[in-house]
Amino acid sequence: QVQMVGSGGGVVPPGRSLRLSCAASGFIFSSFGMHWVRQAPGKGLEWVSGLSYDGSETYYGDSVRGRFTISRDNSKNTVFLQMNSLRAEDTALYYCAKENGGSSLDFWGQGTQVTVSS
């Protein structure tokens, strides 16, 4: 079955960096776009970033554009999110998700917690 396991979260002070990873299995990883969606405590879902099946096209939300970079390694079935210049408002549970086409996300990981605090 489809599984996505996130890692790399933690507690960091403002201005620092973190790199999230999401290892996928159970489907042909290299055939699907992948995305990161975050959820701040007690808040709704916010789309963060996505990339095409081959990584040639990348997309970012306004709040992270220029600070975050998404990438993938199809040989390792893994998608990454490099987060630089972190701010308190980036504190959230970060989900990786598989794209089903047309921007719908049909499988989600369990979430990786990122806390930005001094």
Give residues in contact with another protein (CB under 8 A): 35, 37, 44-47, 50, 59, 61-62, 95, 100-111
**Would you say 12 or 97 has its CB closer to another protein?**
97
Among residues 80, 94, 86, the alpha carbon closest in space to that of 37 is found at 94
Work out how close the CB of 4 gets to another protein at its nearest, in angstroms, rounded to a whole number.
9
Q: Which is nearer to another protein, 27 or 47 (CB)?
A: 47
Residue (of 116, 115, 109, 117) closest to 37 by Cα position: 109
3-state DSSP assignment of residue 13: coil
User: Toward another protein, which CB reaches closer, 9 or 109?
Assistant: 109
Q: CB of 118: closest distance to another protein in angstroms?
A: 28
* Alpha carbon distances (Å) from 97 to 1, 87, 111: 14, 23, 10
